[in-house]
Amino acid sequence: MAGLYIHVPFCSGKCGYCAFYSVVGCENRIDMFLDALAKEAVVRTHELFSPLSTIYIGGGTPSLLSPTQFEQLDRIIKQNFKISPDKIVEYTIEVNPDNVDIPRIQAWRNAGVTRISMGVQSMIPQELQTIGRRHTALEASKAYQMLRASFSNISLDIIFGLPGQTMESWKETVHQIIDMYPEHISAYSLTFEERTRFSKMLKKGEITEVEESLSLDMFRWVCHRLAEAGYEHYEISNFARSGKRTLHNSSYWNGSEYLGLGPGASSYDGYRTRKSNPPSLKEYIFFYTDGGENSDYVESEYLSRKELTEEYILTRLRTSEGIDLEQYGDLFGKEEAARITKVCRRIGDKWINCRDGVLRLTEDGFFISDEIIVSLLPD
């Protein structure tokens, strides 16, 4: 199973917390981006060994593309990539509530999009303003209703730990999201990434972080509430109704091959090679418009055995599947499997448990997954 990711690096404004690569106020360059993308697809199609099963159009804000521009993007995919005989099992586009309208919905449907991932982030007006979203809670609800009439698989993103957020306001957001009854919910913990507006504001003392204990309570509460509402917690930040786990992202977590096109996108060959496109729209357009070869442009990294082990631990422990110790031993040796088991015992059952030969983070362990994963990595 192979996946295709396309990074559409345009946004109408920059949200305070966001570290994804995107450019603001450059919509007049979308057509140039699409021309460069068409060239990149031709040059790199051979890098995928298997036919496509999943497509993910992310960003940035792909819903900024007009219906005609989206049709062009879809044509680029279909003209350059072999589709799996079982057809595309999942075709996702990320959207923002402020660009959802009937002509776009029609274009997405006509192209065969099966899944919508919409960034809502909060249903509290003050919080939406603080984080710099360009839509209201009401617009998010209206966009959802419009999408619901055409799509049976919708995912909504929300964030906890926002500056000024309280337990009550978080509960209000979660309740309103559950009432919409999407198939999938991603609940992210706010992190202050370097070079974001929030990290600068934090340094200047213009905003404050919520207490870690409050953030943990918010996480525990959302896990509990979503379980009650019938959502399975299958990855640190992801919850799905039965049969609605995201297939595309699951391929990142289980080490399958995927190809990423567009500035800032990364790829993995499912074996040992990682590639990434530099995060610069200007360079991207310049390079592909000049008809260059991708070998000079894409950064490529061959993973060492140690890096492969790290990658395995990092990705598998994110999910509720965890690490199967027998499989781990077959891949990296029995001694390594014994080492990791010993470290887990030392960390303790409150954070990570070993049942039936599988290591899994607990709910509290998910909350501090970065720290636990670091302590498990080989020296």
Residues that bind ligand SF4 (CB under 6 A): 11, 14-15, 18, 20, 22, 59-61, 96, 119
Query: What is the smallest separation between the CB atom of 95 and ligand SF4, expressed in angstroms?
Result: 10
Spatial CA neighbour of 183 closest among 137, 244, 139, 230:
244
Query: What is the smallest separation between the CB atom of 120 and ligand SF4, expressed in angstroms?
Result: 11
Is the Cβ–Cβ distance between 369 and 236 less than 8 Å?
yes
Helices (H), the chain: 30-44, 67-80, 102-111, 125-131, 137-148, 167-180, 197-203, 212-228, 247-253, 281-289, 305-316, 325-332, 334-347, 363-367, 369-376
Query: What is the smallest separation between the CB atom of 12 and ligand SF4, expressed in angstroms?
Result: 8
| Residue closer to ligand SF4 (CB basis): 4 or 11 | 11
Query: What is the smallest separation between the CB atom of 27 and ligand SF4, expressed in angstroms?
Result: 13
CA dist 76 and 72 (Å) reads 6
Query: What is the smallest separation between the CB atom of 283 and ligand SF4, expressed in angstroms?
Result: 19
3-state secondary structure of 303: coil
| Residue closer to ligand SF4 (CB basis): 15 or 36 | 15
Count CB atoms within 10 A of the CB of residue 74. Answer: 21
Give the DSSP per-residue string, 265-296. Answer: -EEE-SSSEEEE--S-HHHHHHHHHTT--GGG
| Residue closer to ligand SF4 (CB basis): 133 or 275 | 133
DSSP-derived letter for residue 123 is S
| Residue closer to ligand SF4 (CB basis): 18 or 313 | 18
| Residue closer to ligand SF4 (CB basis): 60 or 163 | 60
How are beta strands 232-235 and 90-95 bridged, if at all?
unpaired
CA dist 300 and 257 (Å) reads 15
Query: What is the smallest separation between the CB atom of 142 and ligand SF4, expressed in angstroms?
Result: 18
Query: What is the smallest separation between the CB atom of 16 and ligand SF4, expressed in angstroms?
Result: 9
The dihedral through the CA atoms of 203, 209, 211, 215 has a sign that is: negative
| Residue closer to ligand SF4 (CB basis): 59 or 182 | 59
The dihedral through the CA atoms of 66, 68, 70, 72 has a sign that is: negative
CA dist 248 and 233 (Å) reads 17
Query: What is the smallest separation between the CB atom of 121 and ligand SF4, expressed in angstroms?
Result: 8
Token pair, residue 276, equals 């990434």
Percent helix, strand and coil across the chain, each to the nearest 5: 45, 20, 35
Count CB atoms within 10 A of the CB of residue 255. Answer: 15
Q: What's at 344, amino acid-wise?
A: C
| Residue closer to ligand SF4 (CB basis): 39 or 104 | 104
CA dist 98 and 113 (Å) reads 19
Minimal CB distance residue for ligand SF4: 18
Query: What is the smallest separation between the CB atom of 148 and ligand SF4, expressed in angstroms?
Result: 21
Query: What is the smallest separation between the CB atom of 59 and ligand SF4, expressed in angstroms?
Result: 5
